[in-house]
Amino acid sequence: MSLKSQLNESNIPRHVAIIMDGNGRWAKKQGNDRSFGHEQGVESVRAALEASVEIGLEFITLYAFSTENWNRPKEEVQALMQLLVQAIAMETPTLLKQNIRLTTIGDVASLPEETRDKLQECIDVTSQNDGLTLVLALSYSGRWEIVDATKKIAEQVKEGKLQIEDIDEDLFGTSLNTSNIPDPELLIRTSGEYRLSNFLLWQLAYSEFYFSEVLWPDFRKQDLVDALKDYQSRERRFGKISEQINK
């Protein structure tokens, strides 16, 4: 059965965000280094992207490295940065073939130069693609992003380009890293953890949450479909009552 035929085609979200968690535990369970889990996680990213293209999502945001992840042991941080460089180099041809455009959110300037350069290369060569947009959250945290947006707005007020009265939710939204990206309708977190870990705090205000016990390196296309099926069984009320939604 195709992935799409399992879903209601009139209710496919535009944007799914994923907290890819459980790489370390997956590796440890089999007596391997945590880094092995991160390496295997790349296969799951591949599966999630392929499924997203087949299903017809417009945006997928993957939490790949949080602001707080800088506090991990130096060797693990280095291995993750190295893996990122390798994975981008390896996957760029696939992104091109699948019409996927890469973009990033987060404090990219804080990444090592080699990582930044590889990312920029991939962003440049995929910039004309108009299928799925892959948003990689790197050195990202929701609080960092909100503070960053506030500084940009304050600067404009200081320079007299903006009046305080003009600050509203729309303006604030466009000052975030995710301006031009719709809010995710669905957030998925793997590995049985039930928290946001500082991810997309503003954008997830009205998203549906789906928690899976699957460790990220085991995540496959059907797991994404299962999350979407669950999403499609929900009623999104946005503060209204059921009768208003179904009239």
Count of residues that bind Mg ion according to CB under 5 A: 1
Contact yes or no for 135/60 (Cβ under 8 A):
yes
The answer to whether the CB of 177 falls within 8 A of the CB of 201 is no
Rounded alpha-carbon distances, angstroms, from residue 207 to 17, 185, 232: 10, 5, 13
Beta strands 186-189; 208-211: pairing state: parallel
Question: From ligand IPE, Mg ion, none, which one binds at residue 88 (CB under 5 to 8 Å depending on kind)?
Answer: none
CB of 191 to Mg ion, least distance (A): 6
**DSSP structure class, residue 100:** P
Site pattern 25..44 for Mg ion (x: CB under 5 A): --------------------
- Written as one letter, the residue type at 6 is Q
Q: Quickly count: other Cβ atoms within 10 Å of residue 226's Cβ.
A: 16
Binding of Mg ion by 145 (CB under 5 A): no
- Are 123 and 50 spatial neighbours (Cβ–Cβ below 8 Å)? no
Q: Binding residues for ligand IPE, per CB under 6 A?
A: 19-25, 63-66, 69, 80, 191, 193, 195, 197, 216
**Closer residue to ligand IPE in complex, CB, 18/132:** 18
Residue 116 CA: distances (Å) to CA of 6, 24, 104, 107, 196: 39, 24, 11, 11, 26
Task: Provide the minimum distance between the beta carbon of 244 and Mg ion in the complex, in angstroms, as a whole number.
Answer: 39
Instruction: Select 149 or 187, whichever has its Cβ closest to Mg ion.
Output: 187
List active site positions: 21, 69
Q: How far is the CB of 136 from ligand IPE (least distance, A)?
A: 10
x/- track of binding to Mg ion for residues 2-21 (CB under 5 A): -------------------x
